[in-house]
Structure 1
Amino acid sequence: MELTAGMKLGIFTIIRQIGAGGMSEVYLVRDNLDRLFALKTMSSKRSYDPSFRQRFEQEARIMASLSHPNIVQLHSYFEEEGRFCLVMEYVEGGSLRELSRKIGPIPEKRALNILKQIAEALSYAHSKGIIHRDVKPSNILLDANDNVKVMDFGIARMTESPGLTKTGSQMGTLVYMSPEQIRDSKHVDEKSDIYSLGVTLYEMLTGMPPFDEKNSSDFDIRVNIVQNELPDPRDIYPHIGEESLHLFIGLTKKDKEERLSLSELLTDMLPEKQKLTESPEKTIENEGYNEEENLPLKKKGILTKAILLIAFLAILIFVSWNLGNKEEQNKEEEIVEASEEEQVLEKYEQEPKIALEMVFVEGGNFQMGSNSLPLSEKPIHKVTISSFWIGKYELTQKEWKEVMNNNPSNRKNDNLPVINVTWYDAVEFCNKLSINEGFTPCYSGSGSSITCDWNANGYRLPTEAEWEYAARGGLKSRGYEFSGSNNIDAVAWYAENSGDQTHEVGSKKPNELGIYDMSGNGWEWCWDWHEGFYYEISPTHHPKGPNTGTFRSLRGGGHGLCDSDCRVSSRLFNYPDGKYNGALRVVRAHF
């Protein structure tokens, strides 16, 4: 019997399905006290198999024996009309895999915080004689504050009762399996979970697993895991620090006896050792008092805190003294840099983090421009683009406010695109967000002398070429006139359907890459200086626009413009300090 919303199982009312696999389905349910839970039930096609029923009951027994803040807690287990049900705490958030798919590589400090919590959960489970055997990002839940909950003990094994694993059967998810787990799933110990934890760290740091499941056979992946070392994550993302690399290598040694133990891992991650090498800002941020340090260091921490507080007060006095001079500065032409007062404030106030949803755009060649009027779109020319990440949506007012503490938009709504942003504002936002997330800012300088470090790992504006490549659908392009369709009404808010106002991001259909609103809605700033005849001299590889100019480029048209301005090839421009309807969509390089 299929479960639908409103149906009852015991005291639990089905709200909706939130997950499904080959063995089970998971539903969000409400009990008779209006509490929310996750209810896992065996799929109907498996319910008649005694071995699956036995495994399901074992999962319940294992979960009942575990009580740890980083492990999903069991509420109850029951049978209703032949249907076996596990009722667990409901974690409002998403999986680690979903986070990685949204934002790509996870900032190193954040990744190590998540790693530490997973390690603590596994260490506790191992102390109870339980081996998980399927540690992977999709089995790691995160709430809004990055609190970890390890779930899915469906193939976990108690060390004293190995009977449920048949000889020759393979338990686990191939890409995350240890060499010994591939050889013999039955005789694995806690070292196998440790290896899988290392692969999970790899995926957090790079945004992808170490093997391409789509383009590699299972046999090839097995051979690679058993015979070869895992690839260096810096080949994918070169900005990984030495501390993280050391942990990854230690966790994934092919010889399990050489792997780090979880106690060694957690010792290595003590606060005084957790110093990343991504950037000078990151080093400064990790100095000073840390409340998690051991008690003998407390006096030193208090002294450090006092010194920082004195420094902070001194900076405040200095800033107040200079307030008069602040008015003379041109705000639009300033690029944010990590000032001393900001670094001190970071000790006492957590900078906001926003989980921008990013889409991976695989690099390739495309034909840029068009043979239509105006002349600035001519000639059509071949361009080669490297892979990069781009915002799935235009930046929203909520995301802007969390970083900039203001909202220049006329019509206020958290889910509308932020508009009336100057090019200088957009660049400032990119640098601030990069610093907040622990990345190296891309921009430096001021005014017409602003430069971009193309090797930095922070957020930036797309080049015109990157923007058009993504708008056309990249390697999945179907040659549409607008981003995602030849029917503009399907994909864009523009003059004929918008009511002369912006609309919530993502409310039209996406393009071939799953990116929304690249035609219409907000006018999106790009990096390039605008020059009408630039295409005649544009380089083939990674063009970044002229070296100087008067105007900066805008792309995608907008809610108040006609359909021709919303074509993927249409080029618009404005003064860099012009605000009218300016919006943005950020990108990050993929190394």
Structure 2
Amino acid sequence: MAKDIFNTPSEELTLAQKGYKILKAFGEGSYAKVYLSEFQDKGEKTRVLACKIIDTSKAPKDFVKKFLPRELDILIRVNHPHIIHVHSVFQRKSKYFIFMRFAENGDVLEFILKKGSVSEAQARVWFRQLSLALQYLHNMDIAHRDLKCENCLITNNFNLKLADFGFARFVSDNNGKLLLSSTYCGSLSYAPPEILKGAPYLPKNGDIWSLGIILYVMLNKAMPFDDNHIKKLYEQQVSKRWNFRSKVVDSLTPQVKEFLPHLLEPKISNRYSIDDCLSSLWLSMDPRFATLTAAEEQALQASKEGRKAIDAARPTESKGDNVLILKPTDHHHRESLP
């Protein structure tokens, strides 16, 4: 057992019997830690995974009763080439072990802090991949509600994967009626003005604003607004007081300069939808984006069936050794190189 992991010998043994080994910690969230781990099944090659461990005994009741069930419910059902693939989920007493694909190049924020702002061409690739993942979710009436650079993971082939569904939720009821959100979710820097205002909001529209913040950060290695004071932040947002940094503005195309304001649009009725983003002139500048990969097309078609598609795909639960195993269909998508 690694010295920074506080699993019991019994938990370690149970995981080992399933082929899993926890190695070392490399990340931490509000109520969870993320560990490097390994999986080996019946003589197959060892696979490196990430494991998110949530100890519900140390988390607030609101999180355990409301947010965690939503996260698990959505995680084990979604399947998209640009959403981090969940390998399996185990529950043992108060702990949940979520094993997922390991992103070798960290997250977008880490990448930008180390290497600086990315080229517009690279930002276009990552933005498209993120937008396709969001389109998939929105088609099924799921809002992410915590889009930020830290939740955009980068694989060994420099493809982007959307992760962390801790605040995700369905935005309609079983009858298709839209549900307004009244819970403040996500990070202040990425929150749209309607959330800062404190009124019930449409979470899909909020996702688009956050998408715009991510694109701005990719291109500028900075945030568009000063978030040190909420009232001033709100005033800056509604008055559209932001600019591209002088360091990069002359190198950017007119198309991206025209596109980004549609995302950072304070008036919800004028803000782009995810379909508007994907059909934008800026994305169409790259001829490779004229067609979807087979995996992207398959996911899009599945999402068009809406919420029924993932309700039907709900995995079966099997209990044994005091471990709840929720294992989704293991689709392996071929990486699409930028």
Same fold by TM-score greater than 0.5: yes
AA in 1 matched with 2:118: I
User: Which one of the candidate residues 54, 74, 88 is aligned to 2:100?
Assistant: 88
User: Which one of the candidate residues 221, 232, 244 is aligned to 1:233?
Assistant: 244
Matched residues in 1 for 2:288 and 2:253: separation? 24
Aligned to 1:468: none
User: Which one of the candidate residues 193, 215, 223 is aligned to 1:209?
Assistant: 223
Aligned to 1:265: 277
- 1:146 and 2:148 matched: no
Change in CA separation of 1:293 and 1:197 when aligned onto 2, cut-off 3 Å:
closer
- 1:199 and 2:213 matched: yes
Secondary structure of the residue that 2:261 maps to in structure 1?
Answer: helix
Aligned to 2:184: 170
How much has 1:52 moved relative to structure 2?
Answer: 2.3
Matched residues in 2 for 1:247 and 1:121: separation? 19
How much has 1:78 moved relative to structure 2?
Answer: 2.1
How much has 1:291 moved relative to structure 2?
Answer: 5.3
How much has 1:224 moved relative to structure 2?
Answer: 2.7
Superposed CA offset, 1:509-532 (max 9, x none) = xxxxxxxxxxxxxxxxxxxxxxxx
Aligned to 1:116: 128
Aligned to 2:5: 3
How much has 1:185 moved relative to structure 2?
Answer: 7.0
How much has 1:85 moved relative to structure 2?
Answer: 2.2
Aligned to 1:256: 268
Change in CA separation of 1:294 and 1:129 when aligned onto 2, cut-off 3 Å:
closer
Contact persistence 1:169–1:185 (CA under 8 A): no
Contact persistence 2:117–2:218 (CA under 8 A): yes
Matched residues in 1 for 2:212 and 2:235: separation? 18
Matched residues in 2 for 1:87 and 1:294: separation? 32
Whose radius of gyration is greater, 1 or 2?
Answer: 1
Change in CA separation of 1:186 and 1:19 when aligned onto 2, cut-off 3 Å:
farther
- 1:17 and 2:25 matched: yes
Matched residues in 2 for 1:268 and 1:203: separation? 19
**How do 1:304-323 residues align onto structure 2 when only pairs under 5 Å count?**
none
Secondary structure of the residue that 1:232 maps to in structure 2?
Answer: coil
- 1:99 and 2:111 matched: yes
Matched residues in 2 for 1:191 and 1:143: separation? 28
Matched residues in 1 for 2:200 and 2:54: separation? 23
Matched residues in 1 for 2:290 and 2:180: separation? 46
How much has 1:57 moved relative to structure 2?
Answer: 2.3
Contact persistence 2:107–2:149 (CA under 8 A): yes
Matched residues in 2 for 1:179 and 1:212: separation? 13
Contact persistence 2:71–2:166 (CA under 8 A): yes
How much has 1:45 moved relative to structure 2?
Answer: 5.7
> Structure 2, unaligned stretches of length 5 or more?
293-337
How much has 1:30 moved relative to structure 2?
Answer: 1.6
Secondary structure of the residue that 1:229 maps to in structure 2?
Answer: coil
Change in CA separation of 1:294 and 1:3 when aligned onto 2, cut-off 3 Å:
closer
> Structure 1, unaligned stretches of length 5 or more?
276-289, 296-352, 354-591
TM-score by length of 2: 0.73
How much has 1:194 moved relative to structure 2?
Answer: 0.8
Secondary structure of the residue that 1:94 maps to in structure 2?
Answer: coil
How much has 1:120 moved relative to structure 2?
Answer: 0.5
Contact persistence 1:197–1:251 (CA under 8 A): yes
Contact persistence 2:108–2:149 (CA under 8 A): yes
How much has 1:193 moved relative to structure 2?
Answer: 0.6
Matched residues in 2 for 1:220 and 1:109: separation? 33
Secondary structure of the residue that 1:202 maps to in structure 2?
Answer: helix
Matched residues in 2 for 1:98 and 1:185: separation? 33
How much has 1:36 moved relative to structure 2?
Answer: 2.3
Matched residues in 1 for 2:37 and 2:200: separation? 35
Matched residues in 1 for 2:200 and 2:87: separation? 29
Secondary structure of the residue that 2:98 maps to in structure 1?
Answer: strand
Matched residues in 1 for 2:154 and 2:161: separation? 6
Matched residues in 1 for 2:159 and 2:270: separation? 30
Matched residues in 1 for 2:146 and 2:73: separation? 17
Aligned to 2:82: 70
Contact persistence 1:5–1:16 (CA under 8 A): no
Aligned to 2:329: none
Change in CA separation of 1:187 and 1:32 when aligned onto 2, cut-off 3 Å:
same
How many residue pairs get aligned? The number is 276
**How do 1:483-522 residues align onto structure 2 when only pairs under 5 Å count?**
none
AA in 2 matched with 1:21: G
Higher helix share: 2
Aligned to 2:303: none
How much has 1:274 moved relative to structure 2?
Answer: 1.0
Matched residues in 1 for 2:123 and 2:136: separation? 20
Change in CA separation of 1:109 and 1:51 when aligned onto 2, cut-off 3 Å:
closer
TM-score by length of 1: 0.43
How much has 1:211 moved relative to structure 2?
Answer: 2.9
How much has 1:154 moved relative to structure 2?
Answer: 0.3
How much has 1:14 moved relative to structure 2?
Answer: 1.1
User: Which one of the candidate residues 63, 71, 74 is aligned to 1:59?
Assistant: 71
Matched residues in 1 for 2:31 and 2:239: separation? 32
Change in CA separation of 1:202 and 1:256 when aligned onto 2, cut-off 3 Å:
same
How much has 1:294 moved relative to structure 2?
Answer: 6.1
Change in CA separation of 1:151 and 1:82 when aligned onto 2, cut-off 3 Å:
same
Aligned to 2:301: none
AA in 2 matched with 1:68: H
Secondary structure of the residue that 2:208 maps to in structure 1?
Answer: helix
Moved more, 34-43 or 173-182: 34-43
Matched residues in 2 for 1:47 and 1:195: separation? 29
AA in 2 matched with 1:209: M
AA in 2 matched with 1:29: S
Aligned to 1:246: 258
Matched residues in 2 for 1:111 and 1:51: separation? 34
User: Which one of the candidate residues 184, 200, 204 is aligned to 1:190?
Assistant: 204
Contact persistence 2:181–2:202 (CA under 8 A): no
Superposed CA offset, 1:317-355 (max 9, x none) = xxxxxxxxxxxxxxxxxxxxxxxxxxxxxxxxxxxx9xx
Superposed CA offset, 1:235-291 (max 9, x none) = 4532222111112111111111112222222122577x417xxxxxxxxxxxxxx55
Secondary structure of the residue that 1:211 maps to in structure 2?
Answer: coil
Contact persistence 1:6–1:14 (CA under 8 A): no
Contact persistence 1:14–1:30 (CA under 8 A): yes
Provide the alpha-carbon RMSD of the alignment: 3.0
Change in CA separation of 1:291 and 1:50 when aligned onto 2, cut-off 3 Å:
closer
